[in-house]
Amino acid sequence: MDTTAQRPWTRSYAPGVPAEVPEPDGSLVDLLTDAARRFGPRVALDFYGATTTFTELADQVARAADALRRLGVGPGDRVALVLPNCPQHVVAFYAVLRLGAVVVEHNPLYTADELDRQLTDHGARVAVVWDKVAPLVAGRGAVRTVVAVDLTSALPRLKRWALRLPLPKVRAARAAMTAPAPGAA
């Protein structure tokens, strides 16, 4: 079959890239486990220069899945993820799947009302959220447990250190990425 006639976009594929890729037999969790086995020391994630290898990612997923299991998450349960694109999102996504639970994605920029409607609709009891939006999720819908994530913890050490500088521009950047410290006005 001439794939370029039916799928003209394949003409722009790099040499050696097949027009069709065989469908994998396993789950996404199986694919991650296999990638960790095959490509362990290679970079799986790069977040502003902080890298995570496939081995590290698989380990983080296993630890996060264990933590979620201890919170009562099991097969078929829904878990709300209210996170931007960050390593913690990838870890939480795979951890939920590893437990046989269902990931319910939410935009972390939604308003409280938008989140309330969605959280009520799907009934997740556990939510993994960006710490900046944790107050918008806590106690809404069926959510009883909120796991708040500090995005800056995934940044390279130098960038985390730089966010502590007492400069107006840096303070604004830090405020955009994190929740206020407890007791801060």
Burial 74-103 (b: 16+ CB within 10 A, else e): eeebbbbbbbeebbbbbbbbbbbbbbebbb
**E strand or H helix that includes residue 177:** helix 168-177
Which domain CATH number covers 106?
Answer: 3.40.50.12780
Closest to 62 measured CA to CA, from 27, 91, 20: 91
Look over the chain and give the mean of its residue pLDDT values, rounded to a whole number.
90
Average pLDDT over residues 90-94: 98
Report percent pLDDT > 70 for the chain: 94
Amino acid at 137: V
Residue 184 lies in a domain: no
∠ CA(71), CA(73), CA(79), 5° rounding? 105
In a domain, 90, yes or no: yes
pLDDT at 2: 59
Q: Which string of DSSP letters, residue by residue, matches 113-128?
A: HHHHHHHHHH--SEEE
Residue 2 lies in a domain: no
Report if residue 126 sits inside a domain.
yes
Q: Say what the pLDDT of residue 104 is.
A: 98
Q: Strand pairing of 50-53 and 78-82? A: unpaired
Whether residue 1 lies inside any domain: the answer is no
Has residue 88 been placed in a domain? Answer: yes
Per-residue model confidence as pLDDT tens digits over 10-49: 999 999 999 888 898 999 999 999 999 999 999 999 999 9
Look up the pTM and report it. 0.83
Asked if the structure places residue 9 within a domain, the reply is: no
Q: What is the pLDDT of residue 1?
A: 53
- If DSSP codes are grouped into helix, strand and coil, which group holds residue 167? coil
Which pLDDT score, from 0 to 100, does residue 134 have? Answer: 94
Q: What is the pLDDT of residue 185?
A: 47
pLDDT at 69 over 80: yes
Q: How many domains does the chain have?
A: 1
CA 90-94-97 angle, to 5 degrees, is 145
Domain of residue 93: give its range: 24-177
